[in-house]
Structure 1
Amino acid sequence: MGYSPEELQAARDRLVPDVTASGLRVLFCGINPGLMTAVTGHHFARPGNRFWPVLHAAGFTPRVLKPAEQGELPAYGLGITNVVARATAKADELTAAEYREGGRLLAEKVARLRPQWLAVAGVTAYRVAFGDKHAAIGPQQRTLGSTRIWALPNPSGLNAHWTLAAMADEYGRLRAAAFGDGEPVPHQMHGAEGS
């Protein structure tokens, strides 16, 4: 699945469709699509990104899904969106204004889809998008309507001070809050179909 530097650069600014449905348990929210995601159309597609292994290790999915299997997420009560829709090589190419506008659009999306939890994978992105400069990893005081918010560590392989195990523990805390402590991994939930 090798892509040339030219193919990757051509994907810059491309939009990647969300994976959503109404009434999800958790809507995961990345910072913005990377170039590999933009080329493939699959979220968290860059090799080395730990989102898919962490999702499984935290008990959200019964096995490690491949990025190309992202369409299975709503059956598990899960979805994916981004704070900023525009694809870039690195998140530091985004402006504070883009984050703030992304936060506004995200609030509208959440009002429409009404997930139980919005899980922002990147506490810095959450801080800028929602103007909460003191936010820490974990559940937030702020809500968007009835939707609770959880700031998660960014699963990027570049986020080296979070090990896969520590990340899985934090994502697992969210899974327990969203699905209940004793619940097993969700299997093909009903009622998570699209609107």
Structure 2
Amino acid sequence: MNLQASVRATAAAATALSSTGLALTGLGVLRNNVPHAVGGSCLVATGIAVVALILIRTWITDTSDARNALAAAQRDAEKERSRYFAAQAALENEQGRLRQEVNAEQQRIASILATEREAMNIMFEEKRAALVSETMEVTVRMFRNGDFAPDTLTTGRLIQFPKQEHQVRTTGQARSRGHEGVAP
């Protein structure tokens, strides 16, 4: 037991008290002296009670197991904290690396797209120039062949409608109004 100095002194006094009580009880029994035997027995009981109380106090106030458990829990928590910080640092490093790779890939793709766009613009301009040149050649040929020359003047022809015979109405003819009805 790891006892403090005051507790050790009390335990030593209780042991001495119990030893004295045993001696006094033995002396009282040998001489047939009841007060010595009873007094010695009381001293022994008191000494044993003090030792028992010291042991109980030590048992109650002994926190070494709890301190050991707390220390182990603190060590585990510190290890977990260290692992957490290490994992967080690794994650941040990985994210930084991925960010750099994505940026590099975006720059690479942007340069490829710019190159392809420039090539397509050049190809478009070449095709456009070829089409303009071909159109001009065809237009010149058509002028030379007279395709754009004005047609000879022709007089317009008037379409005549056929003559219709108009019936002249007489005032005495009845006009039909409505269903089979005749109106004046």
Q: Normalising to structure 1: TM-score of the pair?
A: 0.17
Superposition TM-score, scaled by structure 2 size:
0.18
Q: Which has the higher helix share?
A: 2
Q: More strand per residue: 1 or 2?
A: 1
Considering Cα pairs closer than 8 Å and 6+ residues apart, tell me whether 1 or 2 has the greater RCO.
Answer: 1
> Which structure: larger Rg?
2
